Amino acid sequence: MFIEQEFYLWKLTYDLVVAQDFQVLNMSAERGEVWLEKEQGWQTHVIRLSHKQINWRNELRRDLEKSYRQLSQNKKLFRGGKVQFHVLYVSEYPPVEEWENVESDISSSQNNPISIYYMDDENKTVEKKKLYEAFQLEEPLIDQQVSESEMEAMLPYLKQQLVKKQQDQRRQVLSIFDYGKPQVTYFLLAVNVLIFLYIEWVGESTSVDTLIQYGAKFNPAIMDGEWWRIATSMFLHIGFLHLFMNMFALYYLGTAVEKLYGTWRFTWIYVLSGLFGGVASFMLNPHVAAGASGAIFGLFGSLLFFGVQHKQLFFRTMGWNLIFIVILNISFGLLVPQIDNGAHIGGMVGGFIATATVRMPKQMNKSKQLAALAVFLLLISSMAFTGYKGLFNNEKGFSEVQETQDLNQSGDYDEVIEITSETLADPGRYEAALLFNRSFAYLQKGETSEAEEDLLRVLELSPKMAEAHYNLALLYQQVGEEDKAADHAERAADINPDQEDFKELYENLR
């Protein structure tokens, strides 16, 4: 009887949704058709349940092809595009023709696996067992020893409960994305902008000396015990464009993450990501560095953690776009040498682990959280020790080169001489650059003999440095040694013929 098959369909659907936690994708009581989804491991399963009588093999094939078209139209809803597709028919009689090999034909033609369950009155028990075994679920007892009047009475209740469950699932999804309000995000935006304006007021945000003075990541100072720079560098930015790009990213990522995780979790993730990224930068990057990039990439990491916890929802919403942006940013960073990849990648890894220490709201797991915290502390301690020992960051003297260049521009020549003289005791591979910066300071102070000594040593180390020849030419011109001045001016012009100052000096001296 028709009512028996309809009752069986909705009773089976009720068990899959309510007891087995399948998600309702689409449901049509009028057509007697339901689409369900379940994530099992890393595999997405989609089930189409239909109350339909199929009489002929070709009719079955056309219906399956139609189902595949519907599935393809909604591919973006499913992780990875490919899914394990299950089609279930509830019918009084089986098809007249043999139909079993249609399953393999359709799977090969569509290049996607399919499982067919044809539950006619004689095979309901066998096919139901096959379905539940495919998902490793406990098989329910569906009592059909009830009268037609009882079935008719129960059907509205079953459908109503399924509609209610579908609405609950949708509300649950919406609640995930609206758990908190982006209060700290706006606070961080304001703090970063105000600090930037203050730095511009008292100096220049592009000045290395100003950045170091106000807390940028400066490896020599950190190695001397100023570890607080790892934190303060998160709130400094180098120029307006740097500030704008980071604040733009913070606005969009911060609001999304704070809504997902709530205020205190967001704050925890942001701070720990910034610290982790800063220590990674200390380990890998010798440059003076500043910016919120490490913490912002940590927000990427927190969204990737959300993707691990809610794979279906992640790929149905932000998933592929987020992965594309992450890959684009990392690739861009690897191609552009000025970008602090240590802070970026370190921040993202740190953000993922920091998120694992607090997890998603209402998903607490103390053992996993403690394990994640232990991993975080172990990694950040190891990176700090490695950075202190200089195992990966052996660029001794580079930070001092940056700093003294900036100090020369600002006229702090005594400080340049002090810093370079101290660093030259162990300059690494930057001896020539340090000597050149010190020679410039000596020249500006009128100490020509010291400047000459430094410049001659620079040319021993780097004979092709046109600027050193040019400065020697100026020095010799100043003390009246015209022949030496002309010789070095000629060399400078030969090495760098595009530099007009070099050619002009040589022409004058010749």
CA 310, CA 307: separation in Å to the nearest integer?
5
What value does the CA radius of gyration of the chain take, rounded to a whole number of Å?
A: 35
Residue 88 pairs in a beta bridge with 49, 117
CA 317, CA 300: separation in Å to the nearest integer?
15
CA 135, CA 118: separation in Å to the nearest integer?
17
CA 73, CA 75: separation in Å to the nearest integer?
6
Q: Of the candidates 135, 108, 171, 136, which has an alpha carbon nearest to the alpha carbon of residue 44? A: 135
- Asked if residues 211 and 202 have their Cβ atoms less than 8 Å apart, the reply is no
Neighbours of 508 (CB within 10 A): 11
End-to-end CA distance of the chain: 113
The amino acid present at 112, given as its one-letter code, is N
The bridge status of strand 84-90 relative to strand 114-119 is parallel
Q: Of the candidates 420, 493, 431, which has an alpha carbon nearest to the alpha carbon of residue 458? A: 431
Q: 51, 344, 469, 488: which one is catalytic?
A: 344
Per DSSP, which regions of 362-444 are E strands?
A: none
> Is 293 a residue of the active site?
yes
Which residues does 360 contact at the CB level (< 8 Å), separation at least 6? Answer: 176, 260, 261, 305, 306, 309, 310
CA 321, CA 315: separation in Å to the nearest integer?
9
- Asked if residues 387 and 393 have their Cβ atoms less than 8 Å apart, the reply is yes
- Asked if residues 51 and 90 have their Cβ atoms less than 8 Å apart, the reply is yes
Give one word for 397, left, alpha or beta, with left for phi > 0 and alpha for psi -120 to 50: left
Helical residues (DSSP H) of 340-447, grouped into ranges = 341-358, 366-389, 398-410, 413-423, 431-445
Q: 205, 281, 293, 399: which one is catalytic?
A: 293
Torsions phi, psi for 266 (to 5 deg): -60, -45
DSSP reduced 3-state for 25: strand
Q: Which of 89-108 are b and which e, b meaning 16 or more Cβ less than 10 Å from the residue's Cβ?
A: bbbeebbeeebeebbeebbe
Per DSSP, which regions of 443-499 are E strands?
A: none
CA 189, CA 244: separation in Å to the nearest integer?
10
> Is 344 a residue of the active site?
yes
How crowded is the C-beta side of 264, counted as CA atoms within 13 Å? 4
Residues with catalytic roles: 293, 344
